[in-house]
Every structure is written in structure tokens, then in C-alpha cells.
Amino acid sequence: MRAEVRDWGRKGYSLAAIRDLARRTLPRPVFDFADGGAEDEQTLRRNEAAFASHDLLPRPLNGVDDRDLSIELFGKRLAMPVLIGPTGLSGLFSPGGELAAARAAAAAGTAFCLSHASTCTIEDLAAAGSAPRWMQIFLYRDRGFTREFVERAAAGGYDALVLTTDNQLLGNRERDIRNGFTIPPKFAPLDILAMAGKLPWLLRMRRDLPRVTFANYARPGETADLAAIAGKMGGMLDPALSWREVDWLRGLWKGPFLLKGILHPSEAAEALKHGVDGLICSNHGGRQLDGAIASLDALPGVIAAVEGRMPVLLDGGIQRGSDVVKALALGAAACLIARPQLFGLAVAGEAGVARVLEILRREIDRTMGLMGVTRLAELGPDYLRRR
């Protein structure tokens, strides 16, 4: 695929640089839909600030020549400790967004988690064969509909099921309100005039934009009406999510089962009693409860509560390989990235996501070398000081 940003290969040298290229590529409402957070965006900012408030304590005399970035997660070896987290409507950023990102993840030797709100179906991704593939779901008032998602993921050979717990009510994203962002996006003629610099993206998306939809919500033979589903989503989700539903889903799904959105140590401890296999310490990238603790600041409490009995992953604000190293030093088993892969997609499709993963791989490797660490398992809290 033709990249939309000239010379992106040279200019996209860091995740921040790729975000900047995406900002210049995407129409403002689409960029903000990905980039923004809820209300005053305090939590969004805290996520990144939390990494900056931890200093690395290197041991350069542990000279290391041969560094191993691989990890073992649920019986699978991943080449690096970064997975691609679930993002709805990835196909809004680049044609075939989810399939492209999943291919890039597989090529980098890591896992891709499909969102419930993907623009391809659960079956499309399964047929494409990228692996490992995880499936993220929500709890609907209609339990039969919820069950269908689980059964489709099982039939599609997905390796893990992720129940997102922090999105049963929709967050208040004020950038979207200010921009008049709608799903599907609608651009008035005046907006388009103001978007001259975004023409390459508009051209690239001209066939896909009208077709972008929540593909999993269509019944066989139907086409999903994006606007209608987006309007109904709030009413479909069940805000009365509890451990009872976690037990129910645990019974339905035989493979690794994770809860995403856990920040409180008491919920982490409770998860141990409900047959959960892993947790994702996350505040949804500050898109839901503004004022929530940074995920990195919540991590030590969550790790302590699970007493080493299940892996805890982290997302929210990863911008550098050193951020991943800090999370692992605090006990995370791995990290997930969401926005950076969307920005990679916007800039150069699959190659852009591949670049994002490659930047992180190199930065993790370099950080390990400078820290005197050969294997990620060597990392511990003694490699960090809280500022």
C-alpha cells in the first residue's frame, strides 16, 4: 500500500513522531477520536506522567551482549513483551485496519487482540490466520448475544478471551463533542475545504469510509448499520456487570480468560477466586473514568494482590521501550499498545504498525543493554526509583 506521508520512513523514528505524522494525516475529528480521553483528560495525562516519575537504576557492569526480549504468556512464546490491544473501528484509520495490524503483530512474533467493535468480523480475522489472536468482548443486557461473541471466538480458534470491565457505561469524550464527531464520520463541504492537507487520507479511504462498520454486530446476511448500532450501543451494554457474569463467562470459555480494566487491589484479589487467568491493569487510556489512577501507579497494588498466581498485563500511555521496561520491573508480564498502532495504521497501514513494533523492540533492547539486563525476568523493583 502506498504510504500517505511522504518520507514517513525517515520521519517516523519514534512513537511520538508517528503520532505527529498521524495528526497531520488524519482529519481532526478522526485523530481526536483516537488521541483523546474523557472530560479534562487528567487520567490520560497521568498515564504518561507516571512513567516519567519512575527513574531507571542501571547496572552497566553487568555487561550484556546477547539480550532476550521474549516472554512466555499462556503457554505461548512471544518474541517481545508488547501486544496490540483492542481498538474499535481500526478500519477507520486505514483500509482493512484490523487485518493489517494483526499481520504486523504476527510478523513481529506477538499477539493481536481484536475489539468487539472491529470493522472486520471475528471470522475474517480467524480466516486470515494471524496468530496468536485474542478476542475482547463486553457484557450485553442480552446474554444470548454476549454468548454468541464467546462462541464465535471459540469457533474461530482465538487463543484468549478478554472481558473489558470498564466500558459498561460510555465515557464522556469532550473532544468528540467539540468536533461533532459522529460514527460514521460525516464531513460537511466546508470541513473538506479545511482539510486540504488530509486529501491523501480521504482518497485512500474513499471506498472504505462508507463501508466502515461494527462488523460483528450484523446478523448473517445483514449489513450492520453503523450509525444505528453506535446509537444503540449505550443501551445494549449492561452496567450491572458483576462477578456473577464473570463466573458465567468463565464457564463458557475454556481457554485463557482475562479481565481488562482492573485497577483496585481488592478486585484483583477477587479475580483469583473466579477462575480468571490474567488481568490487564488499565484505565482504558483515560477514555472512561477521568480522575482514575494512572495504570502504572495502580500496578504494584494489583501485582501484590494476585501474589504471583496470574499474569498482570498493563496498558496506558506506553510511548517508549523504557516505559515497557519500567512496567515489567514493577511486575507486569507484558504491555499492550492501542493508540500507537492506530497512528501507525494512519501513517502507513501494515508497514506503519510494523514500524511501531520495531521501534519498541529496538528501544526495549537498547534499554536492557544500558541497564545491564539480559533477560526480562531479571527485572525487578530494584531497577527503579520512584521520584
Ligand X SMILES: Cc1cc2nc3c(=O)[nH]c(=O)nc-3n(C[C@H](O)[C@H](O)[C@H](O)COP(=O)(O)O)c2cc1C
Question: Phi then psi for 255, rounded to 5 degrees?
Answer: -90, -165
The nearer residue to ligand X, 321 or 373, going by C-beta atoms, is 321
* Chain centroid, CA 295 distance in Å: 13
315 binds ligand X (CB under 6 A): yes
The nearer residue to ligand X, 292 or 371, going by C-beta atoms, is 292
Give which of 156, 117, 161, 154 is closest to 136, Cα–Cα: 161
Q: In the set 84, 258, 318, 354, which binds ligand X (CB under 6 A)?
A: 318
Q: Which stretch binds ligand X (CB under 6 A): 102-110, 168-176, 215-223, 281-289?
A: 281-289
316 binds ligand X (CB under 6 A): yes
Beta strand extents in 116-212 (DSSP E only)? 133-137, 160-164
Specify whether the CB–CB gap between 306 and 269 falls below 8 A: yes
The nearer residue to ligand X, 342 or 353, going by C-beta atoms, is 342
Query: Minimal distance in Å, beta carbon 372 to ligand X?
Result: 28
Give which of 129, 174, 165 is closest to 287, Cα–Cα: 174
Query: Minimal distance in Å, beta carbon 92 to ligand X?
Result: 8
Q: In the set 132, 171, 317, 331, which binds ligand X (CB under 6 A)?
A: 317
* Chain centroid, CA 178 distance in Å: 24
Residue 158 is classified by DSSP as -
Q: In the set 54, 133, 173, 260, which binds ligand X (CB under 6 A)?
A: 260
**Per-state percent for the chain, helix, strand, coil, to nearest 5:** 50, 15, 40
Rounded Cα distance between 387 and 364, Å, is 21
Query: Minimal distance in Å, beta carbon 374 to ligand X?
Result: 27
88 binds ligand X (CB under 6 A): yes
Number of Cβ within a 10 Å radius of residue 384 = 16
30 binds ligand X (CB under 6 A): no
Query: Minimal distance in Å, beta carbon 184 to ligand X?
Result: 14
Q: In the set 99, 125, 338, 359, which binds ligand X (CB under 6 A)?
A: 338
Q: Which stretch binds ligand X (CB under 6 A): 17-25, 67-75, 200-208, 314-322?
A: 314-322
Marked catalytic residue, from 116, 264, 274, 284: 284
Element (H, E) at 126: helix 122-128
Q: In the set 3, 5, 34, 226, which binds ligand X (CB under 6 A)?
A: 34
| Residue tagged 466502515 (cell numbers) | 212
Q: Which residue is nearest to ligand X (CB)?
A: 285
81 binds ligand X (CB under 6 A): no
Q: In the set 94, 130, 146, 164, which binds ligand X (CB under 6 A)?
A: 164
Kindly tell me the burial class for residue 148, based on how many C-beta atoms sit within 10 Å of its own C-beta (0-12, 13-18, 19 or more): middle
The nearer residue to ligand X, 18 or 338, going by C-beta atoms, is 338
Task: Compute the half-sphere exposure of residue 5: CA atoms within 13 Å on the CB side of its CA.
Answer: 25
SS3 43: helix
The nearer residue to ligand X, 204 or 320, going by C-beta atoms, is 320
The nearer residue to ligand X, 204 or 260, going by C-beta atoms, is 260
Query: Minimal distance in Å, beta carbon 4 to ligand X?
Result: 19
213 binds ligand X (CB under 6 A): no
Of residues 43 through 72, those in contact with ligand X by CB under 6 A are none
Rounded Cα distance between 107 and 130, Å, is 9
Using CA atoms, how far residue 25 sits from 42, 43, 185, 370, in Å, is 26, 26, 16, 35
Catalytic site residue 54?
Answer: no
279 binds ligand X (CB under 6 A): no
The nearer residue to ligand X, 46 or 339, going by C-beta atoms, is 339
Render 286-309 in DSSP notation, one character per residue: GTSSTTPPPHHHHHHHHHHHHTTS
Contact code string over 91-130 relative to ligand X, x by CB under 6 A: ------------------------xxx-------------
Give which of 361, 374, 371, 350 is closest to 320, Cα–Cα: 361
SS3 260: strand
Residues that bind ligand X (CB under 6 A): 33-34, 85-88, 115-117, 136, 164, 260, 282, 284-285, 287, 315-318, 337-340, 342
Q: Which residues are catalytic?
A: 284
